């Protein structure tokens, strides 16, 4: 085991999560940055591996608790195209198990501002200010007598759906919101003497989801010479500027740890029809002509709308009519009680899964034989002679934990240009992601970590953050073992 010692004697720590900040993007654009370049050159900025799947909900919870997703059991993703169905789940695993809970019990005074998923505020040894997980709900704090609620900017996981027309205003408003959130953090952080402070910023992820196509010239939806070409770069510069202020103002007294829950890049432009693959390989039965016809009409319509750059208008209709949303997600085609099926695991993203009902198998040997055959077949899957799979694994080969059954029996990860589609489109194995026009930015497994301590880039996984911070604050050095 490699031991990593902190270089300083500072016991106080400020921890910041910048949702979706990407290591590769920073590295590829170092010439545009000052602080990020300086930290990179000093080896105080490096890659940070997220969880599987690389989504905000399981990753933030793992960062808070140090538990892997098979231990905490919250494996959900956000569907930005579904505004009627809020994310469901049991987030009680957070309570009393977070970094700030543990530090508080150790007698450390803590300040927690805008922690995603941790809502409402709980009774901690210090001050907590947070917002609702998604839509609705008010600002929550454990000390209303100390907080002027009316002056707090919107917090939590806000969900917007800007159009091309409203995008410039969306960008301006989100930049303004980001600045107000940083300013509010400073205001309440300075009001007392804290041993540990946490700041969560989610706007960096939100901006990249909607603005990627404007900045990426390789994106099929990119428009030349558009006014938003520098939107992503300016988002990173905004984050860099505010991180710089925090390091300058508090870096002498505090260890500053800045990290992202996952990375970000161009969202998949192609789709893999996983159920057609299962049909072709004899794992599931073919579907009725009626369902196939409906699926064909749906996908042909989306293909035409995509070519016309008219998908965004159709998305508005999907939001209003719930039955159409089910058709969009192909929920009506395949039932969960089948022996083998592809669950709604991570949306139209590179991570996918296949479930096998073990009780439907004649023996454990048959169950394992099916898994082996599916994994072997997936790894051989090609599109125009090119393999699309990075890996396919048994779930227990990814993580171990008492809630491992929250994962599909098989989990696979494709090339970033492919996303899972559980629908059918004739006998095709591959298609286009029509909704890329609406959500052009997507999550990547590799995020970033940086800070003002020399050992910071030695932390390589979000699963290591909780232990690292606890040791830093309670012992004055990380004494961290990988």
Domain definitions of the chain by residue range? 3-266+441-481, 270-437
Please give the full DSSP string across 262-296, using - where no structure is assigned: SEEEEPPSEEEEHHHHHHHTTSSPPPPHHHHHHHH
- Name the fold adopted by 3-266+441-481: Alkaline Phosphatase, subunit A (3.40.720)
pLDDT the model gives residue 353 = 97
Whole-angstrom Cα distance, residue 387 to residue 59? 28
Whole-angstrom Cα distance, residue 414 to residue 224? 29
Whole-angstrom Cα distance, residue 55 to residue 182? 23
Whole-angstrom Cα distance, residue 95 to residue 25? 34
Whole-angstrom Cα distance, residue 116 to residue 156? 6
Identify each DSSP E strand in 285-417 by its residue range.
Answer: 340-341, 351-356, 382-383, 386-387, 389-394, 410-414
Per-residue model confidence as pLDDT tens digits over 234-293: 999 999 999 999 999 999 999 999 999 999 999 999 999 999 999 999 999 988 888 888
Whole-angstrom Cα distance, residue 393 to residue 144? 48
Strand partners, 140: 130
Question: Three-state DSSP class for 305?
Answer: helix
Is there a contact between 284 and 278 (Cβ–Cβ < 8 Å)? yes
Whole-angstrom Cα distance, residue 153 to residue 176? 10
Whole-angstrom Cα distance, residue 166 to residue 236? 21
If 0-12 CB within 10 Å is exposed, 13-18 middle and 19+ buried, where does residue 107 land?
A: exposed
Strand-pair category, 196-201 with 140-141: unpaired
Please give the structure tokens belonging to residue 473: 């604050």
Residue 333: how many CB atoms within 10 A of its CB?
18
pLDDT the model gives residue 324 = 54
Whole-angstrom Cα distance, residue 132 to residue 110? 20
Whole-angstrom Cα distance, residue 262 to residue 18? 9
pLDDT the model gives residue 318 = 57
Torsional sign, CA 244, 121, 21, 109 = positive
If 0-12 CB within 10 Å is exposed, 13-18 middle and 19+ buried, where does residue 199 land?
A: buried
Strand-pair category, 418-421 with 270-273: parallel
Residues of the chain with pLDDT under 50: 1-6, 83-85, 88-89, 477-482
């Amino acid at each position: 085991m490699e031991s990593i010692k902190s270089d300083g004697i500072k016991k106080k720590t400020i921890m910041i999560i910048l949702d979706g900040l990407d290591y590769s993007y920073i590295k590829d654009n170092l010439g545009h940055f000052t602080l990020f370049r300086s930290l990179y050159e000093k080896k105080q900025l490096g890659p940070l591996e997220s969880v599987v799947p690389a989504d905000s909900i399981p990753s933030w919870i793992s960062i808070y608790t140090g538990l892997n997703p098979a231990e905490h059991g919250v494996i959900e993703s956000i569907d930005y195209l579904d505004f009627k169905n809020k994310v469901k789940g049991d987030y009680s695993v957070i309570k009393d198990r977070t970094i700030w809970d543990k530090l508080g019990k150790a007698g450390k005074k803590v300040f927690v501002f805008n922690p995603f998923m941790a809502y409402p505020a709980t009774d901690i040894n210090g001050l907590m200010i947070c917002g609702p997980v998604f839509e609705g709900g008010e600002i929550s704090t454990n000390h209303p007598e100390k907080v002027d609620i009316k002056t707090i900017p919107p917090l939590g996981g806000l969900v917007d759906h800007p159009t091309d027309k409203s995008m410039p205003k969306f960008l301006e408003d989100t930049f303004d919101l980001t600045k107000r959130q940083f300013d509010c953090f400073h205001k309440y952080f300075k009001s007392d003497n804290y041993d540990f402070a946490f700041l969560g910023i989610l706007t960096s992820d939100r901006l990249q989801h909607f603005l990627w196509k404007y900045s990426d010239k390789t994106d099929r939806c990119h428009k030349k010479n558009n006014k938003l070409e520098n939107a992503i770069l300016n988002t990173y510069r905004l984050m860099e500027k505010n991180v710089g202020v925090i390091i300058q103002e508090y870096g002498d007294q505090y260890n500053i740890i800045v990290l992202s829950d996952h990375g970000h890049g161009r969202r998949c432009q192609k789709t893999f029809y996983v159920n057609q693959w299962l049909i072709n390989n004899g794992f599931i039965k073919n579907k009725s002509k009626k369902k196939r016809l409906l699926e064909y009409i749906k996908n042909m319509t989306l293909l035409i709308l995509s070519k016309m750059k008219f998908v965004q208008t159709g998305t508005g209709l999907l939001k209003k009519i719930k039955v159409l949303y089910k058709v969009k997600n192909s929920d009506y085609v395949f039932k969960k009680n089948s022996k083998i099926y592809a669950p709604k695991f991570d949306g139209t993203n590179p991570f996918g899964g296949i479930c096998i009902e073990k009780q439907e198998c004649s023996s454990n040997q048959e169950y394992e034989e099916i898994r082996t055959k599916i994994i072997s077949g997936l790894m051989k899957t090609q599109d125009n002679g090119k393999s699309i799979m990075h890996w396919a694994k048994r779930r227990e080969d990814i993580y171990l934990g008492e809630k491992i059954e929250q994962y599909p029996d098989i989990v696979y990860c494709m090339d970033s240009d492919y996303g899972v589609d559980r629908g059918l489109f004739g006998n095709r194995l591959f298609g286009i992601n029509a909704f890329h026009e609406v959500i052009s930015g997507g999550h990547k497994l590799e995020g970033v970590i940086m800070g003002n301590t020399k050992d910071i880039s030695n932390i390589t996984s979000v699963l290591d953050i909780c232990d690292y911070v606890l040791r830093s604050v309670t012992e004055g050095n990380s004494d961290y073992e990988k």
